[in-house]
Chains A and B, each alone.
Chain A
């Protein structure tokens, strides 16, 4: 059972405390102004209550000082909240350079997780405590939303796109995952748990799946099963572009435009190869739309990410 609190959610990520601080500030502000308005209404309703049937109110001139004051003061307060909220959001949206990457696929009505070491999970996600974890997510069908209240993170998982969030868990434990974007009949059953573990427990858990292929090994096998390697060769003799070192680089297209080869670009190049043709190559690659699942796509993406130019001698760090 996830830990339970009836009035306030557990805070179990580095960002949670920052969100809560702003939340409490806003609560204080709301309480202050609500009580101010309610207090004035009650006070005036009693003090100036109608005492005779024909009584009328006083005629007062426009008070520009007051009008300006209650325009400018709220404006100033809201701008403070804006900057505060935007700053935290900026931190939420910018993952650190070194993260533990895990792929997520949402589908009606389950969450599938794919670790780089090869472990696959459904509706349970094991992560180590005190590590920056980045989730790269997509959906097989409709829009879902990955929401972990204890981490104060939420992200729409959109078909056809890769989206990412990151968090750094601070406490070992079990925390709920909800799907927060309505996705059909069993939407409320699309839940799961994040299990945050001590590093040693996490290592034990990881080695439990040691016999499996890593994700990029699975991708490599798929790469040859689908005969991608007949055209995408590392020796410059293939009919398709060399993929070693392509990930993260700027690719020049036929139009002269340059795009950065990220996960979404590789996904698109597999499903819709004609969309962006690398300069110097012919649009001869067939589409793989409908032939590879989102999870296989992720394996292929991970394999392409692991391909480094041979002369640098670098190996996939992860």
Chain B
């Protein structure tokens, strides 16, 4: 934290004390309160998914399948994937941080459709609880990928209700995406041009486009699986002329872009963290902004790289390979620009920036290992092994969760009006970084050795690396629990933060912490470029 001579007083009126009682939360139309409802939801589903990860890693500590039965193990990794992907990673940053920040960052009072926003949360929770019901009512064992014909003719678990849960939640993504797009087009404050928007908004915009365009495809796909199970239509059944691989095309047509739904918002967060952490404009702002859009567009054209070994023609494989390499370029551009932003910055060592360092480093490794998978010949060897598991956890956990936690720490003083314990926050950031690498780095080696994913038992010579990974997971778990504690603690005991504890620029730091229900007392007039730190300094001088 910047040195504060004395703690500033909490504002008299803000969105948290505007109204009291359970009804004021459950029927709220305030985007900030809805963001907190989402925060409760995604945190709950994160720990449900995390608990399953713990059991998976415990089972894999020994080569024999001895802790749980094979059926249980298969259900565990399925629900881990379903919970984490559909109910944590996809909604986390857009629905929590995006909901809170999009209106404030453009100087608006709320999103364009506040009631729709509340409806999105209810849809999300209904989908999530429905899926959780499938879990407690016996579980599902298809893997989060629901591959046919296993899911349609072979599995005798709760495929239909899980698919329905995913189907329902999709509407929440679509409506939130639509809400953000309309809001950004129509509700920007006077002077807030597109190129004055913070980069978080550019990446949220790109994410929203994918949500609106891609989610209907997964909705139709899981509906087809449910219909095939109930009515035996035969879309995916070769015995009646269907094609099981058709499912993979439909599934990955959404689910590869969904990877970018998960990582783009984190990239946006990191742009904000790096700018504030260096008190400096992002190097190559427009390049970073357009890189988000390029990733969103190219992301729709690479789904076939999931099927290099699934009987795809050699030439189709080559097309998907070259397109997959192309999507690496905008990602590389972002990494180089973030790093270059630090050059001659005023570089902070506070918690949000630590998460940004972690993100850039881990995302770099995650991205570069993506090149192994785009190179078809290497992909043939490592696909469906632990190499894939390691690769996408570097992106999803090392990237998205690092970005999410960094963002949560950075905007926590704004959200809650209070400061958390910086020493504990730094400690847990360090624990997470170490635990993460210990968990997932050995999995790259396991993958190249040939250990297939989704294996309940494995040959004994893979044990050493698996034990390392399980040890890392236990450290990682501790790292995730500590922030729960000190963030909750800060709600009651934290010092009040003041409007701008980081000395950062951006409309959200011009209003009180926590902001008033209508965000700003007067509609802001934007006259400055994004991340204009010299202007902020001048304004401060004038005040003095």
A interface residue numbers (CB < 8 A to B)? 2, 4-9, 15, 18-19, 22-23, 26, 29-30, 33-34, 37-38, 40-41, 44-45, 48-51, 53-60, 62-63, 66-67, 70-71, 74-75, 78-79, 81-82, 84-90, 92-93, 108, 141-143, 145, 147, 149-150, 152-156, 158-161, 163, 176, 178-189, 272, 275, 289
Contacts and interface: CB of A to CB of B under 8 A. Distances in A.
Interface in B457-475: 457-459, 461, 464-465
7 contacts: A71-B333, A142-B150, A150-B450, A152-B381, A153-B380, A158-B244, A179-B452
Contact of A188 (B145, B348, B450, B455): B455
B325 A82 contact: yes
A53 B2 contact: yes
A171 B145 CA distance: 37
Contact of A154 (B147, B309, B445): B309
B537 A56 contact: yes
Given A57-B533, A78-B371, A163 B71 contact: no
Given A34-B365, A158-B311, A179-B452, A59 B457 contact: no
Given A48-B346, A154-B384, A143 B368 contact: no
A182 B308 CA distance: 16
A56 B450 contact: no
A86 B318 contact: yes
B395 interface: no
Contacts of A79: 322, 325
A152 B335 CA distance: 32
A8 B346 contact: no
Contacts of B332: 70-71, 74
Interface string B96-135: 0000000000000000000000000000000000000000
B374 interface: yes
Contacts of B459: 2, 176
Nearest to B287: A67
A176 B342 contact: no
Given A58-B280, A156-B311, A142 B347 contact: no
B343 A48 contact: yes
Given A181-B384, A182-B150, A189-B70, 8 more contacts: A22-B377, A37-B335, A37-B360, A48-B343, A81-B375, A147-B450, A154-B309, A159-B149
A29 B364 CA distance: 12
A49 B380 contact: no
B486 interface: no
Contacts of B308: 89
B154 A82 contact: no
Nearest to A163: B311
A127 to B, nearest CB: 18
B328 interface: yes
Given A22-B378, A158-B311, A161-B311, A143 B329 contact: no
A173 to B, nearest CB: 15
B369 interface: yes
Contacts of A75: 326, 329
B155 interface: yes
B449 interface: yes
The 8 closest A-B pairs by CB, nearest first: A160-B238, A149-B450, A57-B280, A85-B375, A88-B377, A57-B345, A44-B342, A188-B455
Nearest to B330: A71
B314 interface: yes
Contact of A67 (B154, B284, B455): B284
A60 B309 contact: no
A30 B374 CA distance: 14
B317 A161 contact: no
B533 A142 contact: no
Nearest to A43: B342
Nearest to A159: B238
A33 to B, nearest CB: 6
A85 B360 contact: no
A13 to B, nearest CB: 11
B50 interface: no
B377 A185 contact: no
Contact of B448 (A23, A38, A85, A187): A23
A89 B329 contact: no
A45 B375 contact: no
Contacts of B58: none
Given A37-B361, A66-B340, A152-B381, A59 B154 contact: no
Contacts of B347: 44-45, 48-50, 57
Contact of B280 (A2, A33, A59, A152): A59
> Which of B343, B536, B540 has most A Cβ within 10 Å?
B343
B344 A158 contact: no
Nearest to A161: B311
B74 interface: yes
A55 B537 CA distance: 9
A117 to B, nearest CB: 28
Nearest to B317: A89
A37 B335 CA distance: 8
> Which of A22, A50, A67, A289 has most B Cβ within 10 Å?
A50
A57 B364 contact: no
Contact of B534 (A53, A59, A67): A59
B281 A71 contact: no
B30 interface: no
B193 interface: no
A30 B368 contact: yes
A82 B317 CA distance: 11
A57 B317 contact: no
Contacts of B141: 184-185
B29 interface: no
A180 B380 CA distance: 11
Contacts of A82: 321-322, 325, 374-375
Contact of A59 (B281, B321, B380, B456): B281
Contact of A142 (B149, B333, B368): B149
A268 to B, nearest CB: 10
Interface string B60-83: 000001000011001000000000
Contacts of B71: 185
Given A44-B347, A147-B450, A78 B325 contact: yes
Given A37-B335, A66-B340, A55 B357 contact: no
Nearest to B345: A57
Contacts of B153: 141-142
Contacts of B449: 5-9, 149
Contacts of A145: 309, 384
Contacts of B244: 142-143, 158-160
B385 interface: yes
B374 A85 contact: yes
B23 interface: no
A81 B374 contact: yes
B173 interface: no
A178 B450 contact: yes
Given A141-B154, A147-B384, A159-B244, A92 B377 contact: yes
A81 B361 contact: no
A41 B336 CA distance: 11
> Which of B286, B314, B458 has most A Cβ within 10 Å?
B314
A161 B244 CA distance: 10
Contacts of A49: 347-349
